[in-house]
Amino acid sequence: MAVTIKDVAKKANVAPSTVSRVIADSPRISLNTKKRVRKAMKELGYHPNVNARNLAVRSTQAIGVIMPSSAETALQNPFFPEVLRGIGSIAHETEYSLYVSTGGDDEQLFDEVKRMVYGHRVDGIILLYSRVNDPIMDFLVEENFPFVVVGKPYKNESQITYVDNDNIEASRELTNHLISFGHQHIAFIGGTTDLMVTKDRLLGYQSALSEVGIEVCQDYIVHDQFLRSSGKKAVEQLFALKKTPTAMVIADDMMSLGVINMLETLGLDCPDDVSITSFNNLYLSEITRPPLTTVDIQIYKLGIQSAKCLIEQLKTKDDEPARRVIVPYAIKFRQSTRKLD
């Protein structure tokens, strides 16, 4: 015979209504009671009828996670699996499922988001990017649909909940590190110019140079996808110049790996010929040769905080004001930079 709520209530020594509230994760039930009821559910092998419960409370108990439109390309970068791991850890704790989009292009991605919203497939959405003039972000604002952005929104910053690092200050600090080592010919290799993270990291680089009177050379600024192959192309472009850089601020570790590989192809050494600083502190950054000086942006924590913010929105409905969560960063100083003689 199937285990019922009454059976769970009897074992946990609570009322059946309390079991129902625990299943719905009601904030009115104490943590100790929730633990006792969940333990009884597990021991009895009781599994709530999620579909029936969701229908009653008009909830899907699912979160939509939106990758950049080039999801196939994005998944080549370990940033995304790691941020998804953080989101997934909170989703598991709160019994939410994840609905991860895989739109092939901007139009397909927008269509999928509209299906999520209009088809009531998810309760809320996490955007894993922030792009200028993004129709998806505009749509979610217009629909008043719960969502959180990983990155700084391109507009309505005070009205949208987002989780980010201080990318401007981190980039300024990286650039100052190179300046303190005597470098004046410093290049910047960043992502595409429509991404807010690119804009912030470029601004920090430019600010650091300007503050010490070093002219910002436009020829030293290169933009492309956050991929290893993009780093290789950037090196080809920069080292075709008459005056080549002695150091680089690179906005992503995957790009940095491509840069190091291409420098070797050209017969150049890092850091003897070119010092490199980077972002993200991917696991590869510590085991590559040389190990990278890079900004640890705490990717896993970005995922955790974005999921927490969204679930808090879903619990409080319209009562939750927009939040700005800045996850602290730390520069990991390794062997990819050296002082000029």
Judge whether 333 lies within some domain.
no
Residue 23, pLDDT score: 79
Residues 80 and 120 in one domain: yes
Residues 134 and 171 in one domain: no
Residues 102 and 184 in one domain: no
Of the candidates 74, 55, 175, 204, which has an alpha carbon nearest to the alpha carbon of residue 129?
74
What distance separates the 2 farthest-apart alpha carbons in the chain?
Answer: 81
Judge whether 57 lies within some domain.
no
Residues 202 and 268 in one domain: yes
Residues 89 and 132 in one domain: yes
- The C-alpha atoms of residue 239 and residue 187 are separated, in whole angstroms, by 11
Q: Which domain holds residue 111?
A: 62-163+299-328
Residue 55, pLDDT score: 44
Asked whether 220 and 238 are in contact (CB, 8 A), the reply is yes
Q: What angle in degrees, to the nearest 10, is found between the helix axes of 299-316 and 79-93? A: 40
What averages of pLDDT result for each successive group of 10 residues across the chain (341 residues)?
A: 81 86 78 88 76 54 85 72 94 90 79 88 92 92 92 86 96 96 94 90 96 93 76 85 93 89 89 94 90 96 96 78 92 94 78
Residue 186, pLDDT score: 95
Which pTM does this prediction carry? 0.79
Judge whether 34 lies within some domain.
yes
Residues 211 and 270 in one domain: yes
Judge whether 189 lies within some domain.
yes
Of the candidates 289, 224, 214, which has an alpha carbon nearest to the alpha carbon of residue 245?
214
Instruction: Count Cβ atoms below 10 Å from residue 210 Cβ, excluding itself.
Output: 11
Residues 198 and 252 in one domain: yes
Number of domains in the chain: 3
Residues 293 and 171 in one domain: yes
- The C-alpha atoms of residue 322 and residue 303 are separated, in whole angstroms, by 17
Half-sphere CA count of 26, side-chain side, radius 13 A: 13
CB within 8 Å of 95: residues ≥ 6 apart: 25, 61
Residues 135 and 240 in one domain: no
DSSP tag of 278:
E
- The C-alpha atoms of residue 309 and residue 162 are separated, in whole angstroms, by 8
Judge whether 56 lies within some domain.
no
Residues 179 and 283 in one domain: yes
**Cα(first)–Cα(last) distance of the chain, in Å?**
81
